[in-house]
Every structure is written in structure tokens, then in C-alpha cells.
Amino acid sequence: MSLFSIAQRTETYQPALAWTSAIGGVWVFILVMLGAFTTSIGAGMVFLDWPLSNGSLNPDGWLSDVMMFAEHSHRLSAGLMSFITIGIWFMVWRGESRAWLRHVALFAVALVFFQALVGGLRVLLDHMQIEMVETSVGRLFAMLHAGLAQIYLCVLLTISLGLSRPWIEGPKTEATSSLLKLGRWCCGLLLLQLAIAAIMRHSHAGLAIPSFPLSSADGDLLPQVWSFRIGINFAHRVMALVLTAFLIWFAVKLWRDSGVGKGLRIVTGGMLVMLGGQIALGASVIWMLRNPYVTTGHVLLGACLLATTFGITLWLHCRSKTNPS
């Protein structure tokens, strides 16, 4: 189907549309990585204007200064992501007959523009301080920006999966209601954990508890003193334990469910490998005093873990024999 020709909408597999959405799904991880690296090296406010950087699309010195490079490449990548999202929506709107998929694509466009606005407010309002919580309005928008990125990732994944050949032409699954419920819980807990992590990062609380796995050099399970930064750091650790238990439980139930196909079982194994890697990177962030590359890897792998868990859960729900999608 030509992009500019008038064609009848269909729900059959369309390679060009599927690959375009897949490119968007890959690019969003690059965007998350660049955003995480920018935050990890403290370069979020290296440019005080927006949407341009020092008034230009090609600011002087940005290719030779790592702080400028991190932030400006993040902005350029975000701009490209906006065009990719609009392109996906346009192609889906013209060629896809499934109304729910067209609605999701439209939501992706709205979300990417809202995300850009939030990112801009993060820069433009950073000078406004909120003394009560010892932060700035800009940092609050930075926390929201980080959380919305995870939701945007899930939206793009929904489109990519819905357009894929296995979704359209593959066999249905038959999962139990308890498995579906557990998948929803895992996705919700992952989003909560990523929100806590965003608050922690932008509150400069990543090393508020400088020891791991215990909370003090003396071997205390709980912190000896408490503050907001220590509390949010400790909450991140507790949630990591909760998530580990839930994801392992989810994996065991998936492997034991006879209605789950071999492909999903393999993906589930990948989910557990990511979980192990995420725990190791989280510990290394503390032990290596928030090395920016390790910290960036921790954020990126967290996004991959969310995408994998969400993808499994979405597949179980929408590809069940009782759902016609």
C-alpha cells in the first residue's frame, strides 16, 4: 500500500506499517537512554532556553562538550520521535481497519506532544523554587516527564504488537484469570517503582543511603536517621524486593499454565534475566557511587523490563480466545 494513495483499510498484516512501528518502538529506547544519561550527569539544565538550545538548533560546542551533547541530542531525538509518531499515526489511520488501534495511535501523538511540553516546562520553570519540599517547579516537571516516558513506551509497544504478524496471524492463547490479574499487578507495580525512581533521581537522592544491601555501614536493616531523600531511596529498595517476588511468581505461573505458548515462555525467561540484571545494576549504582554509565544502564534496563512485562500481559489479555482483537 502506497502511503499517499487512497487504499481500503484492512486488518491484515502490512509489512511497511509493522516495520515503521517497530522502528518507533526501538527509537523510544534510545530516547530513554539519552534522557537517563542527561539526568545522570546533571546536564538537564545545561541550556536555559527551550525549544532551541542557546537559541539554535546547532549550538556552538555541543559536539565537543559531553554535557551539551547529552542534553541537545536528547532534544533532537525527541523531535525525531515526534515525527516518527505522527508518521505511525498517519499510516495506521489510512491503512488499519481496527478502530482500537487507530485510537491508540492517536493517543500516542497526543502523548508525545504533551511529553514535549512537560520537558519544556522542566527547563523554563526550573528557576521557581518550592521551599517546602526543597525543590524547583522544573524538577517536579522532570519527575512527571520521566514517568510519562514509561507510559509512552507502553503505548508504542501496544501499536507495534498489534501490527505484528504473530498478533494478526498467530494462534490465540488461553490463560487463566488469575494469571491475567497477576500480570496487571506486575505492570502496575513496575510503573509505581519507576515513578519512585524518577522522584529519587530528580531529588538527588540516589546515594541518600550510601550502603547496600543494608541501610548503614554498621549493618542496620533500617536507616538510622530519616528524611525525605532517605525515605524515597528506602522505598525504592523495598519496592525492588516486592517486584522481584511478584515477577518470579508471574514467571512461575506462566510456565505452569498449559494455555501459554512456547514463545511467551521464552519471553518470560528473558524477563527474569532482565530482572537479575536490574538488581545487579541497582547494587552497582550504589557501590560505584552513581557512575553515570551504570546509572543510565539501570534506567534503560528498567524500561526494558517494563516493556517486556507489559507486552506479555497485553498479549495474554488481547490474544486470548475470548477476545477478538
Read off the DSSP letter of residue 137: H
In our burial notation (b when 16+ CB lie closer than 10 A, e otherwise), range 52-87 reads ebeeeeebeebeeeebbbbbbbbbebbeebeebbeb
Whose grid coordinates read 527551550? Answer: 50
**How does strand 135-136 pair with strand 129-130?**
antiparallel
The mean pLDDT of 87-114, rounded to a whole number, is 95
In this prediction, residues 270-283 reach a mean pLDDT of: 97
pLDDT of residue 176: 86
pLDDT for 31-69, tens place per residue?
999 999 999 999 999 999 999 999 999 999 999 999 999
Q: Is the predicted pLDDT of residue 280 greater than 90, yes or no?
A: yes
Q: What is the pLDDT of residue 235?
A: 97
Q: Over 50: is that where the pLDDT of 6 sits?
A: no
The confidence score (pLDDT) of residue 8 equals 64
Q: What is the mean pLDDT of residues 108-124?
A: 96
Q: Strand ranges (DSSP E) for 22-164?
A: 129-130, 135-136
Asked if residue 133 has pLDDT above 90, the reply is: no
- Mean pLDDT along residues 88-96: 94
Within 10 A of 128 (CB to CB), how many other CB atoms are there? 10
Report the half-sphere exposure of 106 (CA within 13 A, side-chain side).
9
Please say if the pLDDT value at position 325 is more than 70. no
pTM above 0.85, yes or no: yes
- Which residues, listed in sequence order, are joined to residue 136 by a DSSP beta bridge? 129
Rounded to the nearest integer, the mean pLDDT of the chain is 92
Output the CA torsion 7→8→9→10 (10° steps). Answer: -110
What is the pLDDT confidence band of residue 214, given thresholds at 50, 70 and 90?
A: very high
d(CA 186, CA 155): 17
The domains of the chain are located at 13-170, 174-325
